[in-house]
Structure 1
Amino acid sequence: MEVLEKAGKLDDVVHLEVGEPDFEPPAIAREVASESAAHGEVSYTNARGKESLREAISDYYERQYGVEVPLNRIFVTPGSSPALLAVMLDVVDPGSEVVLTDPHYAPYPNFVRQAEGETTTVELDPETGFEPQIADFEAAVGPETAGLLINSPANPTGAVLSPESVEALVDLAERTGTRLISDEIYHGLDFDAEAHSVLEYTDDAFVLDGVSKRYGMTGWRLGWIIAPPDEEQAINRLVQNFLICAPNHVQDAAEAAIREGAGLDSIRDTYRERRDLLLEAARDWGLDMGYTPAGAYYLLLDVSSLPGDAFEVADRILEATGVAMTPGPDFGTQAENTLRASFATSTADIEEAIERLDAYFESH
């Protein structure tokens, strides 16, 4: 966000710092939102979300993963971030721990701290494609561990967990009495490996998702929680008290996107092409970390050979080239000497960024 703020003060900036899809939301979603608001669908809804939307979400899980999710376990929220906060307030007691990967999505530890918990991290290695080693998770889970938070496809690495890894993590959580929390917001944006939901292996887990990423609806703020059967009432109380409900007409738009939005094949193909452009350029610059993102729309660049820390490198590149990228330290110690580049922006912008950075690294 600081990089975005700095970039906003400059002219002619190429934005690779934020995960903002450049694809338009489905036309049907925009039409339904307008019609819904015009017809007066602007009041409070049930805190769980409109039943028709929860039916659409349930149908999506059966269609996509072959699993049945009862409507009473689905809670619609104003974005997936409030969903994660509600889950942390439910799972985490003061002083208990949540195990995260390293690298991880930067705000994750803040959600844990807000619930007065602590974090323990499991380091991931680019040489294994940031795929977790189950033995490391076994070692990290202890008596104070309340939750295990995973994210696949992952931000900031773009790594996709194999089905064997998902199943092993489910088994670990069940054996240790640890609550598994799966952030699946980038599902549907998997282009070199198939992303599997934890719901294919267990009901005893929290799943977070929403329409932001795969439908290009970031600013619409519509997410959801799928709660384990025994946590339904607790999540219902938290949502009622703290979130009230998601916007009424946006719920209608989200239902339309889920039911009738166009397929993602062409979008995935475009992201793959953009990734390959950026990955080839990273190799030319000597910043390649030796892995290929299989999903989401991020690539970590190794800037350890450049003078200064990642914050200084990001500032220097922004000022000299107008290319904005995110410093890696907030993603964890394993990303400390990296910049995160997003290829969610247009292909033309990525090509422009590569051209500018080619000239910058050649002259430096």
Structure 2
Amino acid sequence: MTKPAKRTRTIELSQIRKMFEITNPNAINLGIGEPDFNVPENIKKAMIQSINDNDTHYTPNKGYIELREEIVKKFKKDNGIKTDPENIIVTVGASEALYMCAQAFIEKGDEVILPNPSFLSYEACINLADGKITPVNCKMENEFKLKASDVEEKINKNTKAIILNSPSNPTGAVMEKEDIKSIADLSMDNDFLIISDEIYEKIIYDKKHYSPAKWSDNVITLNGFSKTYAMTGLRIGYLNANEELCEELLKIHQYNIACATTTSQRGALEALRGPQDEVEKMIAEFKKRRNLIVKRLNEMGYETVNAEGAFYVFPKIEDENFVQNAAKAGVITVPGAAFGSNGKGHVRMSYANSYENIKKAMNILEENIPNGRN
């Protein structure tokens, strides 16, 4: 067998996906991070119209100009970021945008500061670029929030970048404004990049979202339509960076993807221009589910932070067999260790499932894993 490249040998397949192989088809899925809502009707109609209009040819590498113009308006209105359509690249989901950042700017010897725990793709992308991870522990006593003071301690001459993700996958933590601003200031003072993954920006409860690009020019802001508009399978995202950074990112995008799908771009345009009622309904429902799952887990003795955003909770569950036993009983979850060493002793549960299914899942856990309590 032909040997794989060294850069792929240390990469493991997603533990999130592995969970599907050990469960029965009737299990309640609290493992996957995907809204259980349908794409809003106005967005569907825009995409259908795109197909009927034979809008199926290449777009500019950076994406349709009208979509990029709408994204510029969104950044100004929602994030206080002033940018230009030429500094926007429409991507195949935020995942492609993340990979582009790693390939364009990280090389052997570069250190990337990474919250621990954090989304497992971050570590993989850094490793594929031959970078070195510098973890910063996000502690449960701080509600898993990344603190600027902890980041500052990790900065050295080899620090090339930091990845921020607020609201966070897997913890649901929302960073405080002062920490985001302080890290933005640090990026300017120490000349390192901030890769800010803001894909869960709209799914936030009783808090306000802040973008580091409001205070620093050394920021690449990643976002997309998958979570907010339930467009996961349509693979459509975008990034914003200054002109110099954007030119380097475009090299990776151009030779890897060429352009994002035309139909998805038309849907994304309608998502931004159209009514936001369905988004507001979805967020209200997620908050209701969050309240349920946190309450039930705490009642069962699993200490759980009242997550302020995204659609995940990260209860403290030190039973090493919990995930496997839960799967056998009919509830899919994900081991916290998949998200970094600081995730050990925790389990990620997604409440992107119906209220009734979450209630059933909690009943199953309570009835079948009584010895798993802390």
Superposition TM-score tier, normalisation by shorter sequence: over 0.9
TM-fit CA distance, 1:6: 2.5
Please, which moves more after superposition, 234-243 or 207-216?
Answer: 234-243
Cα contact 2:91–2:259 (8 A) shared by 1: yes
- Counterpart CA distance in 1 for 2:275 and 2:216 is 28
Q: Secondary structure of the equivalent of 1:301?
A: coil
| Corresponding position of 2:341 | 333
TM-fit CA distance, 1:197: 1.4
TM-fit CA distance, 1:18: 0.3
- Counterpart CA distance in 2 for 1:228 and 1:314 is 43
Work out which of the residue numbers 18, 23, 26 in structure 1 matches 2:32. 18
Please say if 1:111 is aligned against 2:125.
yes
When the two structures are aligned, how many residues end up with a matched partner? 355
| Corresponding position of 1:41 | 55
Q: Which runs of 4+ in 1 moved over 3 A?
A: 361-364
Query: Which consecutive unaligned segments of at least 5 residues does structure 1 have?
Result: none
Please say if 1:268 is aligned against 2:283.
yes
- Counterpart CA distance in 2 for 1:362 and 1:94 is 48
**Structure 2 counterparts to residues 341-352 of structure 1, below 5 A:** 341-352=349-360
* Identity in percent: 28
Q: Secondary structure of the equivalent of 1:119?
A: strand
| Corresponding position of 2:190 | 176
* Counterpart AA for 1:280: K
Change (3 A) 1:313 1:358: closer
TM-fit CA distance, 1:2: 0.5
Q: Secondary structure of the equivalent of 1:207?
A: strand
Work out which of the residue numbers 188, 192, 200 in structure 1 matches 2:214. 200
Q: Secondary structure of the equivalent of 1:23?
A: coil
Q: Secondary structure of the equivalent of 1:302?
A: coil
TM-fit CA distance, 1:96: 0.8
**Structure 2 counterparts to residues 1-364 of structure 1, below 5 A:** 1-7=17-23, 10-263=24-277, 264-289=279-304, 291-304=305-318, 306=319, 309=320, 312-319=321-328, 321-362=329-370
* Counterpart AA for 2:287: R
* Counterpart AA for 2:353: T
- Counterpart CA distance in 1 for 2:58 and 2:195 is 28
- Counterpart CA distance in 2 for 1:54 and 1:60 is 10
* Counterpart AA for 2:283: R
- Counterpart CA distance in 1 for 2:228 and 2:22 is 28
Query: Which consecutive unaligned segments of at least 5 residues does structure 2 have?
Result: 1-16
Change (3 A) 1:49 1:121: same
Change (3 A) 1:69 1:362: same
Measured on the aligned residues, the alpha-carbon RMSD in Å equals 1.4
* Counterpart AA for 1:2: K
- Counterpart CA distance in 2 for 1:261 and 1:349 is 29
